[in-house]
Structure 1
Amino acid sequence: MPSPVSADRPAAQPPGRGSVEALISQTRRLKVEVDAVRRDTPDDGMDPEDRWQRALYDLAVRQLDDVDAHLAQLRDGPEPVPPEPSEPADAPAPRPAPTACGSLLSRVGSAEWNLLSDEASWSGELYRILGLDPASPALTLDELPTLVVDEDRPLLTGMVTDCLVDARPIDGEFRVVRPDASVRTVHMMGEPVLDADGSTASMWAVVRDVSELRRRRRTVRETGDSLHRHRRRARTEHRIALELQEAVLPPWRGPLRLPHQGPGTLELAAHYLPSATSALIGGDWYDALALSDGETLLSVGDLTGHGVTVTSGMATLLGAVRGMAMAGTEPGPLLALLNQLLDSTVHPALGSAVCCRYRPATRTLVWAQAGHPAPLLYRCGTGRALNAPDGVLLGATSGAVYGQAEVTLEPGDLLLLHTDGLVPDRTGTDAGERLLGLAPRFAGARTAQDCVRAVVEEFGGAERADDACVLVARVTD
């Protein structure tokens, strides 16, 4: 072990036993507190951020274990090297005593090499770190590199040379190959010990097995990298979904009149409200399309889920709705075909929708629904929900049949279509009732866009937990 005189300072005197006991007590209290926080950390194996946090807590607890055992070794002193065995010469060599996998005492050893006598003195822990028999002679500094992997030998040789020639402290890591072919990473710290005339007499070192520590740090780094990749992927998916949504949904920024002019024409306005609790884009849509026969298609819908896959599915459904409507398909049969399309996709999903076909010549609205809130009709300062025909969720069952309903509108009537997430469920009040409560404000509105603005002001707050769409159509005089 170290001589009382080192290269640049006298050897420090060991701290008193009472002060070390106090440090041990503080370390153990801190370890209990950190371990309690670790147990409360989610560990479902799915979320990269949870895995990263869990790995950091595991590393902190392991390091506190090491500090605890370091202090215990400082208090109790090093473990002596076992004595030479007394068995006959032909008896098998004794095996090193097994140690607990997590014990620091099996991972920290010490050594001193006497340069004058070319003798080496190792602690029992160092033998166990290197996987050697404690009964065998300690390796000299010239023999020590034979245990080191080829790539790391120059590092060890350079550290030892600098220590012996230039009196530089040793502080570095290298890998050793044990007799059982396992590879361990060790950290060596040491100093030269000078004699009375200033010549280097010996070198001492403390060797620590840091393989588990490096493995845990690598785990922390890898989980951190995984978390960064997960976040980059989420940002990329959000951007793609947003661009896809903007490419599909009509970019209405104000009242919109369809190309067909005259009595019964619809004035339209719509708005998409993103979720306040999710960074991912949902599958909600709104749409209005002037058909070749002079009629108008109105639709809103919602495909369950969030992300690029759902937004892509929404775009597919909306394209199918437009194509079938242009071909003259009525709302009921159109939803039946849409259900068949959703049922046959590679990634099954559920969706809801309302599809309306407005005939301006007679101011007639023909509509159907698939598990969706019915349109709301506002007239003369009051509102009501239209009586809904039969219709199940899209994708819920094969071969579903969807009924149709018909209602005649009057000049000044206002029709509101919306998706489920528009009205937050805070008090248990029915969403339709809360929307119908806006009838007086709609009666005083001058444009459809004013009505949409009133809806957004009322329900566009941060507490909304889902995406939503609202579409307002007002019958002109």
Structure 2
Amino acid sequence: MPSHVSADRPAAQPPGRGSVEALISQTRRLKGDVDAVRRDTRSDGADPEERWQRALYDLALHQLNDLDEHLAQLRDGPAPPPCGPDTEPLPSAPPASGSLLSRVGSAEWNLLTDEASWSAELYRILGRDPAAPALTLDELPSLVLDEDRPRLTTMVTGCLVDAKPIDDEFRIVRPDGGVRTVHMMGEPVLGGDGSTASMWAVLRDVSELRRSQRAVHETHDSMQRRHQQARTEHRLAVELQEAVLPPGRDALRLPRRGPGTLEVAARCLPSASGALPGGDWYDALELPDGDTLLSVGDLTGQGVAVTSGMAMLLGAVRGMAMAGAPPAHLMSLLNQLLDATVQPALGSAVCCRYRPTTRVLTWAQAGHPAPLLFRGGTGRVLSAPDGVLLGATSGAGYGQAEVTLEPGDLLLLYTDGLVPGHSGADSLDSLLGLTARFGAARTAQDCVTAVVEEFGESGRTDEACVLVARVGE
């Protein structure tokens, strides 16, 4: 291809071979470093953020491969153009996998003679037979997608008429039907009289680059959508939980009149920051016959669906208790309810019915920690009747137990996870260790505050509920 005189500046002198070799060495070392980090970030592809990070590493590696190819061309010099009809055809396959392009092609269109001169690599990029004559500027649009032809026309016209540099891209259709994206940078070449004599351009296949960029954008968008979905689900779950659970800051007196009343206080303690609310609940309700319902429970899982299921379960507990179902029968009905739901679920619960006239507490449990009874400066676990997890076994039977409470007794109901990092016997030991603080507390609310101060209001891996009922005179 004949050398040209730029409209803006003389042609730059090529760099020395040694300096190019040094750049190639630096590029290849950087490629190795990026590839090593990329291999360390492999995942199963389930996390959108990990996919986005992986796509960014791929894009960076592709661009370094691209730079390596360019520098090698700069070192080796341009390939000779095809010489004639006897020239052996060059392969026209698309760039190899792992590189953004195989090589860069160049072209010059002489406006005075209407001749075109293409490099061998441009033939490869466009998929043209190197034995065929190069296309003129009037013929070039025949390779371009219909919707991109106006863009090419604008580019060429601006260069030839207004002497504007070209820096844009368009899509071409290769003879094999493949569509490639080509980026073209060009300048007008001025003749001796200052008029535009020809147009010179460098064209490169950026199809793989655009594919990699789309992958980055798509994975980033997927990650953003997932984060937005998580924020929305968290907000909905919190709002639903707050709407369903009774206020946990102020103590209740149940029943509101008569002897043997219970002073009740409760709190729902959140899980670690960012975790979705789950299915923990607490409840205290005065029943039509003057009895008081106390219950705590936990539906497995997290998120809006689980919080919605918890609301359904709590509503069922209230409805059955209002209808007069004793705790053991109530548990059997809840088990049937969970067994009949479309989406299988497991839950645990404790349900207590307290009669103030006799101070008798009747209770049942379904795979749940038994209540703790604090009396006279000591604490103990109530002996639990039989009961399996709700939803675990169809037609399961549930036992029922009774205990007579005394004035000043304190009853503690809770869900698993109240003591961070502990469960089972370890959790019981920690809770029973609060006996002295409970004895010094003046109200049920003070007892809940003691639990929160001892075990923290946040930082646990799972949310938990605590309910304290204190027997009055």
TM-score range, shorter chain: over 0.9
Q: Comparing 40-49 with 119-128, which one deviates more in the overlay?
A: 40-49
Match of 1:402 among 384, 387, 398: 398
Does the C-alpha gap of structure 1 residues 105 and 309 become closer, same or farther in structure 2, counting only changes over 3 Å?
A: closer
Match of 2:300 in 1: 304
1:454 aligns with 2:443: no
Q: Contact 2:255 / 2:290 at 8 angstroms: preserved in 1? A: no
Aligned pairs for 1:253-268 (under 5 A) are 253-268=249-264
Deviation at 1:118, TM superposition (A): 2.1
Match of 1:241 among 231, 237, 240: 237
Does the C-alpha gap of structure 1 residues 403 and 105 become closer, same or farther in structure 2, counting only changes over 3 Å?
A: closer
TM-score, L = length of structure 1: 0.94
Match of 2:220 in 1: 224
Deviation at 1:57, TM superposition (A): 1.6
Give, as a single letter, the amino acid of the residue that structure 2 aligns with 1:67.
L
Aligned pairs for 1:423-438 (under 5 A) are 423-425=419-421, 430-438=426-434
User: RMSD across aligned C-alpha pairs, in angstroms?
Assistant: 2.0
Q: Contact 2:101 / 2:205 at 8 angstroms: preserved in 1? A: no
1:327 aligns with 2:323: yes
Deviation at 1:85, TM superposition (A): 5.2
Rounded Cα–Cα distance in structure 1 between residues aligned with 2:114 and 2:354: 102
Identity, in percent, stands at: 77
Rounded Cα–Cα distance in structure 1 between residues aligned with 2:162 and 2:337: 80
Match of 2:113 in 1: 117
TM-score, L = length of structure 2: 0.95
Aligned pairs for 1:354-373 (under 5 A) are 354-373=350-369
Match of 1:179 in 2: 175
Q: Contact 1:452 / 1:470 at 8 angstroms: preserved in 2? A: yes
1:96 aligns with 2:91: yes
Match of 1:342 among 329, 338, 353: 338
CA deviations on 1:94-120 (whole Å, 9 max, x unpaired) are 562546344456352111222233222
Rounded Cα–Cα distance in structure 1 between residues aligned with 2:324 and 2:424: 40
Match of 2:376 in 1: 380
Q: Contact 1:73 / 1:105 at 8 angstroms: preserved in 2? A: no
Does the C-alpha gap of structure 1 residues 2 and 276 become closer, same or farther in structure 2, counting only changes over 3 Å?
A: farther
Rounded Cα–Cα distance in structure 1 between residues aligned with 2:447 and 2:398: 30
Q: Contact 1:3 / 1:193 at 8 angstroms: preserved in 2? A: no
Match of 1:53 in 2: 53
Rounded Cα–Cα distance in structure 2 between residues aligned with 1:2 and 1:397: 86
Deviation at 1:272, TM superposition (A): 0.6
Deviation at 1:463, TM superposition (A): 3.0
Rounded Cα–Cα distance in structure 2 between residues aligned with 1:428 and 1:24: 63
Q: Contact 1:106 / 1:128 at 8 angstroms: preserved in 2? A: no
SS in 2 for 1:19: helix
Q: Comparing 104-113 with 162-171, which one deviates more in the overlay?
A: 104-113
Q: Structure 2 stretches of 5 or more lacking a match?
A: none
Deviation at 1:426, TM superposition (A): 5.9
Give, as a single letter, the amino acid of the residue that structure 1 aligns with 2:91.
P
Q: Structure 1 stretches of 5 or more lacking a match?
A: 88-92
Deviation at 1:160, TM superposition (A): 1.3
Deviation at 1:2, TM superposition (A): 6.6
Deviation at 1:255, TM superposition (A): 1.6
Q: Contact 2:92 / 2:128 at 8 angstroms: preserved in 1? A: no
SS in 1 for 2:329: helix
Rounded Cα–Cα distance in structure 2 between residues aligned with 1:117 and 1:163: 18
Match of 1:288 in 2: 284
Q: Contact 2:255 / 2:261 at 8 angstroms: preserved in 1? A: no
1:34 aligns with 2:34: yes
SS in 2 for 1:458: helix
Does the C-alpha gap of structure 1 residues 291 and 373 become closer, same or farther in structure 2, counting only changes over 3 Å?
A: same
SS in 1 for 2:65: helix
Match of 2:149 in 1: 153
Deviation at 1:473, TM superposition (A): 0.2
CA deviations on 1:129-150 (whole Å, 9 max, x unpaired) are 1111111111111111111112
Give, as a single letter, the amino acid of the residue that structure 2 aligns with 1:432.
L
Deviation at 1:233, TM superposition (A): 1.6
Rounded Cα–Cα distance in structure 2 between residues aligned with 1:383 and 1:36: 59
1:129 aligns with 2:125: yes
Rounded Cα–Cα distance in structure 2 between residues aligned with 1:107 and 1:249: 66
Give, as a single letter, the amino acid of the residue that structure 2 aligns with 1:291.
L
Q: Comparing 35-44 with 199-208, which one deviates more in the overlay?
A: 35-44
Does the C-alpha gap of structure 1 residues 260 and 13 become closer, same or farther in structure 2, counting only changes over 3 Å?
A: same
Deviation at 1:33, TM superposition (A): 2.0
SS in 2 for 1:270: strand
Match of 1:90 in 2: none
Rounded Cα–Cα distance in structure 2 between residues aligned with 1:394 and 1:222: 43
Rounded Cα–Cα distance in structure 1 between residues aligned with 2:347 and 2:82: 75
Deviation at 1:164, TM superposition (A): 1.8
Deviation at 1:7, TM superposition (A): 0.7
Deviation at 1:205, TM superposition (A): 0.9
Give, as a single letter, the amino acid of the residue that structure 1 aligns with 2:65.
D
1:273 aligns with 2:269: yes
1:475 aligns with 2:471: yes
Rounded Cα–Cα distance in structure 1 between residues aligned with 2:203 and 2:227: 40
Rounded Cα–Cα distance in structure 2 between residues aligned with 1:365 and 1:266: 11
SS in 1 for 2:180: strand
CA deviations on 1:37-95 (whole Å, 9 max, x unpaired) are 222225323222222222222111111111111111111112223444549xxxxx956
Rounded Cα–Cα distance in structure 2 between residues aligned with 1:391 and 1:277: 33
Match of 1:3 in 2: 3
Q: Contact 1:48 / 1:227 at 8 angstroms: preserved in 2? A: yes
Rounded Cα–Cα distance in structure 1 between residues aligned with 2:398 and 2:26: 71
1:13 aligns with 2:10: no
